[in-house]
């Protein structure tokens, strides 16, 4: 298949979009950097606890595993124009952000009940006695990196650690980073293997792949909360200022806004404006994933998560899964996150989704 860049060079962009990506609109203008900076580069900097992903020399995202987090994450996630779509707090607080849920950082993958242990809510801000009851995911190894004109890859190994330092799961994750005009994307393909004992993922609403979005992509709300001020300090706000807050969820099943939460679907989008830039963040669930089609743990305050395993909690008891792995057995979870600059339509998202299913094989 032609790359985004070769399509633009040959003047075939409209034909390629119609055939491959549906209704999205792209801009073929090149951006930044010399020839040696072109394309997608995946650059390890392990001494600083990170692997940077650069597109034409500019940061798209980074795989990070700092001591200030209890799991590795991708942070930040930027649009093709360089605009962050992820919340800065707690890693890089910005004025006007909420300061709730310090475990909501970047894009992550974990779960709220693994053999009775919570891997979702752990944070360095918890008291030691609370942390002692939580699970931790640690980075172990970068297995492979690669780059290219419009795609790069990163393969890593992580371990899920129970209280008492017992490793219960081995995680092998492949990230595929996509870049095109007005488009950025991440595939997270995660293989979990049970080690010395049966692992039960008891139905729990806290899961599984999630991201916390920038304030502008939240849905408008009038509730009183705590935000960061210009100096990065928490400030109580009696009534929210919704200026510039424009987010709206939409699911593949036609649900919108708060009605998306607790429903099933192949995909969900979150659309809004950050400054003058129209942005859509789309999250796709693969038909070969456990629990497909996933339930959505998508909250108006900016938590955007797909949870295929928490069915009883998210369906008010209508469904129940209690997914488990016997020792030595594995399960693979496949998701794609797209960040699209510009207006998008439902049929265009469907085209993107079909391409995801075609690209990512069982």
State residue 34's pLDDT score.
Answer: 56
- pLDDT of 42 higher than 80: yes
Binning pLDDT at 50, 70 and 90, where does residue 234 land? confident
- pLDDT of 318 higher than 70: yes
Q: What is the mean pLDDT of the chain?
A: 89
State residue 230's pLDDT score.
Answer: 56
- pLDDT of 22 higher than 60: no
CB atoms within 10 A of CB 163: 13
State residue 337's pLDDT score.
Answer: 98
Structure tokens at 266: 């192949």
Asked if 335 and 283 touch (Cβ cutoff 8 Å), the reply is yes
- pLDDT of 311 higher than 60: yes
Between strands 166-180 and 183-194, the pairing is antiparallel
Task: Kindly list the structural domains of the chain, giving each domain's residue range(s) and its CATH number in brackets, ordered by start.
Answer: 4-359 (2.70.98)
Tell me the mean pLDDT in the region 254-282: 97
* Among 229, 258, 257, CA closest to 241: 229
- pLDDT of 197 higher than 50: yes
Secondary structure in 3-state letters for the chain: CCCHHHHHHCCCHHHHHHHHHCCCCCCCCCCCCCHHHCCEEEEEEHHHCEEEEEECCEEEEEEECCCCCCCCEEEEEECCCCCECECCCCCCCCCCCECCCCCCCCEEEEECCECCEECCCCCCCCCHHHHCCECEEEEEEEEEEECECCEEEEEEEEEEEECCCEEEEEEEEEEEEEEECCEEEEEEEEEEEECCCCEEECCCCCEEEEEEECHHHCCCCCCCEEEECCCCCEEEECCCCCCCCCCEEEECCCCEHHHHCCCECCEEEEEEEECCEEEEEEEEECCCCCCCCCEECCCCCCEEEEECCCHHHHCCCCCCCCEEECCCCEEEEEEEEEEEECCCCHHHHHHHHHHHHHHCCC
- Residues 123-165: tens digit of each pLDDT: 999 999 999 999 999 999 999 999 999 999 999 999 999 999 9
- pLDDT of 15 higher than 90: no
State residue 229's pLDDT score.
Answer: 60
Structure tokens at 145: 């990196």
Query: How far apart are alpha carbons 5 and 10 in whole angstroms?
Result: 9
Asked if 277 and 265 touch (Cβ cutoff 8 Å), the reply is no
- pLDDT of 191 higher than 50: yes
- pLDDT of 167 higher than 80: yes
- pLDDT of 109 higher than 80: yes
**Alpha-carbon distances, residue 162 vs 118, 128, 170 (angstroms):** 9, 15, 12
- pLDDT of 20 higher than 90: no
First-to-final CA distance of the chain: 20
- Residues 274-304: tens digit of each pLDDT: 999 999 999 999 999 999 999 999 999 999 9
State residue 25's pLDDT score.
Answer: 32
- pLDDT of 2 higher than 70: no
What's the full length of the chain, in residues?
362
Binning pLDDT at 50, 70 and 90, where does residue 241 land? confident
**Alpha-carbon distances, residue 33 vs 40, 57, 59, 260 (angstroms):** 12, 6, 12, 41
């Amino acid at each position: 298949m032609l790359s985004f860049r070769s399509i633009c060079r040959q003047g075939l962009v409209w034909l390629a979009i119609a055939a491959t990506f549906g209704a999205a609109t792209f801009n073929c203008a090149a951006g930044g950097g010399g020839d040696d900076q072109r394309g997608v580069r995946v650059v390890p900097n392990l001494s600083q606890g990170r692997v940077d992903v650069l597109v034409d020399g500019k940061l798209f995202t980074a795989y990070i595993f700092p001591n200030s987090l209890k799991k590795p994450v991708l942070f930040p996630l930027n649009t093709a124009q360089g605009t962050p779509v992820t919340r800065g707090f707690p890693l890089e607080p910005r004025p006007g952000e909420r300061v709730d849920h310090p475990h909501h950082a970047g894009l992550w993958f974990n779960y709220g009940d693994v053999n009775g242990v919570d891997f979702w809510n752990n944070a360095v801000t918890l008291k030691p006695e609370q942390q002692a009851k939580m699970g931790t995911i640690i980075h172990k190894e970068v297995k492979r990196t690669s780059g290219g004109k419009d795609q790069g890859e990163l393969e890593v190994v992580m371990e899920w650690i129970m209280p008492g330092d017992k490793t219960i799961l081995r995680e092998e994750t492949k990230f595929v980073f996509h870049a095109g005009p007005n488009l950025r994307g991440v595939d997270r393909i995660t293989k979990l293997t049970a080690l010395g004992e049966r692992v039960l993922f008891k139905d729990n609403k806290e899961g599984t792949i999630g991201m916390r979005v920038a304030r502008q992509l939240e849905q408008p709300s009038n509730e009183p909360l705590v935000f960061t001020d210009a100096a990065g300090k928490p400030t109580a706000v009696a009534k929210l200022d919704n200026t510039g807050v424009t987010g709206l969820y939409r699911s593949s099943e036609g649900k919108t806004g708060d009605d998306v939460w607790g429903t099933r679907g192949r995909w969900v989008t979150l659309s809004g404006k950050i400054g003058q830039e129209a942005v859509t963040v789309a999250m796709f669930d693969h038909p070969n994933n456990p629990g497909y089609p996933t339930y959505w743990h998508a909250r108006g305050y900016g938590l955007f998560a797909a949870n295929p395993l928490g069915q009883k909690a998210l369906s008010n008891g209508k469904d129940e899964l209690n997914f488990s792995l016997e020792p030595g057995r594995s399960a693979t979870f496949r998701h794609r996150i797209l960040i699209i600059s510009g207006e998008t339509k439902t049929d265009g998202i469907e085209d993107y989704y079909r391409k995801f299913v075609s690209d990512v094989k069982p």
